[in-house]
Each structure stands twice: as structure tokens, then as C-alpha cells.
């Protein structure tokens, strides 16, 4: 893939993907996602142009070095448990994009990462739970990128910087995670720590220059309630990739809900 002068730079996003296969659920659980779903439904119309493809940095794929899905017709990976039987037969039928996978690997290798393609990897719920409400037609090619198993914030920011050219090539780069992810303290138990960490996150990103926000993210463990919000930061580090790819673009709140999952504060962000 190469730059197209007719394509303007595509914004990049860190998005909360929610729990399991929620877009295929009914009843109270699905209703709990009404605000998030409305935000995701409006994402593509807000761009002003249709991206050529989507690169999803998935918090549900951890590898020692970057791995990029290159299957032309990705299978499904039902990486959840305890959900209704029908959710283990759902399909998000978007095509892959081997060309974008190869381009992503090349950019990462140029920056010193030992990136590799993975021709067998299927869509995990960090990808299809977002893409179903974003593009239910499933006609946009989607490629997945793993996070790094060491969770090093600076390495993830560096990955993002290397991937920034994709945004000028019509690629929508999405970091898929959750701004608060402590499964042992959801609902009311997570209200205070999630609010403290979420406020820090918004203060550190919105209205802040590139150098300052990258420095804050690199030191995220010093934030209020950091380890209560993220005992394991796999759901946070996709944000680091997105922040790296954002460059000097301004950050705004894409979605905020103070009572998500019955009581936790969560925020999604847009850069550009």
C-alpha cells in the first residue's frame, strides 16, 4: 500500500470493545451497551471518507514480538466463556487484507521490531465486538495486530509511530481495549478507582501536546488507581499504539460513560 494524494489522513481511535459477543446479545446486557453502540455506529460517518481498510490492535492477542493477521478470509476465535450457545456460531465475515498485513510488518521491521505475519489467526472478540456495530455490512478489510506480552508502554508507543504512515494510505487504525479492566472490581466496586484513573487519562490526553501525553502514558503506572484499573495492562496498551500513531494530532473524547457495566467510568478517544 502506498500513499494516495486524494486520501486525507484518517483519524485514529482507542475504543472500548465491551464484553464478549455483546452485539449478538439481547435483553438487559445488550441494553447496557446502548451508549457505546451509538458511539460505534457513528464512527465511520464522522470520518468524512470511507477508509480502505482497518487495522485493529487487539488487547486479546499477546505475543513477544508483533504479529499481524494475514489470512484473506479470517476465521472466528471465540475467546470468551459462559455466553449463550448461539454466540459460538456467530460470524463477522469481513475479508482480511494480506497486502496491508505485509505493509504493517514491513513498517514495524524497518523500526527494529521482529514482526511476522500470522496466516492462521482469526478475528477475536476485541475485533469483531467493535466491527459489528462499526460496519455491520462486514465489507471493509480488517487486519489484526497483536500487543506485546511485555506490556512495555514505550515499545507500544514506538510501534504506533512506525505505523503512522498507514493513516495517510486510507487505513483506519483502531486500538481495541478498555480504559478500565479489572474483572474483580466491576460495577459499584470499581466506581471510585475507575473514576480516578479515567480522570487522569482524560487530563493526560485531551488538550495536551504530543510530548507531554506520550510522557504521561509511558509513566501510566504512577497514575491514580493505576493498578486497580489495570492489574494487567493488556487492555490499556492498545492506547499507547494509537497515541504513537497520532503524532501531533489533537485528542478528543470519542465516548465517555461514568456508569458503564453498572458503575465504572470508561472513555474512548479520537486523535485527529
The model's pLDDT over 51-109, given as tens digits with 9 standing for 90+, comes to: 999 999 999 999 999 999 999 999 999 999 999 999 999 999 999 999 999 999 999 99
Tell me if 146 sits within 8 A of 169, measured CB to CB: no
How far CA 238 is from CA of 44, 199, 217, 268, in Å, comes to 20, 19, 11, 12
- pLDDT number for residue 145: 98
Residue 29: per-residue pLDDT? 81
Parallel, antiparallel, or unpaired for β 171-177 and 53-63? parallel
pLDDT (tens digit per residue) in 188-220: 889 999 999 999 999 999 999 999 999 999 999
Q: What is the pLDDT of residue 185?
A: 81
CATH code of residue 68: 3.40.830.10
- In angstroms, the CA 13 to CA 155 distance is 18
Residue 2 has pLDDT above 60, yes or no: no
Cell numbers linked to 17:
470493545
Angle at 216 (CA atoms; ends 215, 221), nearest 5 degrees? 120
CB atoms within 10 A of CB 158: 18
Asked whether residue 2 is domain-assigned, the answer is no
DSSP 164: G
Q: Crossing angle of helices 237-246/210-218, nearest 10°?
A: 160
The 10s digit of each residue's pLDDT in 117-170 is 999 999 999 999 999 999 999 999 999 999 999 999 999 999 999 999 999 999
Residue 5 forms part of a structural domain? no
Say if CB 107 and CB 166 are below 8 A apart.
yes
The yes-or-no verdict on residue 186 having pLDDT over 90 is no
* Rounded (5°) CA angle 48-50-52: 145
Position of cell 472478540?
125
What is the structure's pLDDT at 30? 86
Instruction: Find the domain containing 52 and state its range.
Output: 12-271
Would you say residue 5 has pLDDT above 70? Answer: no
Residue 19 lies in a domain: yes
Are the C-beta atoms of 55 and 104 separated by less than 8 Å? Answer: yes
In angstroms, rounded to a whole number, what is the distance separating the alpha carbons of residues 97 and 18?
25
Residue 7 lies in a domain: no
Mean pLDDT of 174-178: 97
Q: Which residues, at least 6 apart from 152, have a Cβ–Cβ distance to it below 8 Å?
A: none
Q: What element of type H or E holds 108?
A: helix 98-110
Give the number of domains in the chain: 1
201 in a domain, yes or no? yes
**Whole-number percent of the chain with pLDDT over 70:** 97
Residue 4 is assigned to a structural domain of this protein: no
Q: Can you give the pLDDT at residue 261? A: 85
Mean pLDDT of the chain: 95
- Position 6 in a domain: no
Question: Residue 8: helix, strand or coil by DSSP?
Answer: coil
**Rg of the Cα trace of the chain?**
17
Rounded Cα–Cα distance for residues 22 and 11 (Å): 25
Residue 3 lies in a domain: no
| Beta strand spans in the chain (E) | 12-16, 53-63, 67-69, 116-118, 142-148, 171-177, 251-260, 264-271
Span 12-39, pLDDT tens digits: 999 999 999 999 999 888 888 999 999 9
Terminal CA-CA length for the chain: 21
Amino acid at each position: 500500500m502506498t500513499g494516495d494524494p486524494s486520501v486525507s489522513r484518517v483519524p485514529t481511535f482507542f475504543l472500548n470493545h465491551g464484553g464478549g459477543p455483546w452485539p449478538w446479545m439481547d435483553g438487559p446486557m445488550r441494553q447496557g451497551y446502548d451508549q457505546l453502540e451509538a458511539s460505534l455506529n457513528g464512527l465511520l460517518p464522522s470520518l468524512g471518507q470511507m477508509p480502505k481498510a482497518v487495522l485493529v490492535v487487539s488487547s486479546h492477542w499477546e505475543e513477544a514480538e508483533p504479529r499481524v493477521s494475514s489470512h484473506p478470509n479470517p476465521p472466528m476465535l471465540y475467546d470468551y466463556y459462559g455466553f449463550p450457545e448461539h454466540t459460538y456460531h456467530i460470524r463477522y465475515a469481513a475479508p482480511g487484507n494480506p497486502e496491508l498485513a505485509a505493509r504493517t510488518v514491513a513498517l514495524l521491521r524497518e523500526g527494529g521490531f521482529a514482526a511476522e505475519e500470522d496466516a492462521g489467526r482469526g478475528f477475536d472478540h476485541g475485533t469483531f465486538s467493535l466491527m459489528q456495530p462499526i460496519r455491520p455490512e462486514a465489507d471493509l478489510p480488517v487486519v489484526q495486530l497483536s500487543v506485546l506480552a511485555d506490556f512495555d508502554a514505550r515499545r507500544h508507543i514506538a510501534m504506533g509511530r512506525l505505523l503512522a504512515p498507514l493513516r495517510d494510505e486510507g487505513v483506519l487504525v483502531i486500538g481495541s481495549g478498555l480504559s478500565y479492566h479489572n474483572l474483580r472490581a466491576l460495577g459499584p466496586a470499581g466506581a471510585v478507582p475507575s473514576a480516578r484513573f479515567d480522570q487522569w487519562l482524560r487530563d493526560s490526553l485531551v488538550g495536551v501536546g504530543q510530548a507531554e501525553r506520550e510522557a504521561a502514558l509511558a509513566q501510566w503506572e504512577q497514575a491514580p488507581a493505576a493498578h486497580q484499573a489495570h492489574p494487567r495492562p493488556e487492555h490499556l496498551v492498545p492506547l499507547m499504539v494509537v497515541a504513537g500513531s497520532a503524532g501531533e494530532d489533537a485528542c478528543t473524547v470519542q465516548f465517555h460513560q461514568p456508569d458503564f457495566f453498572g458503575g465504572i467510568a470508561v472513555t474512548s478517544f479520537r486523535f485527529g
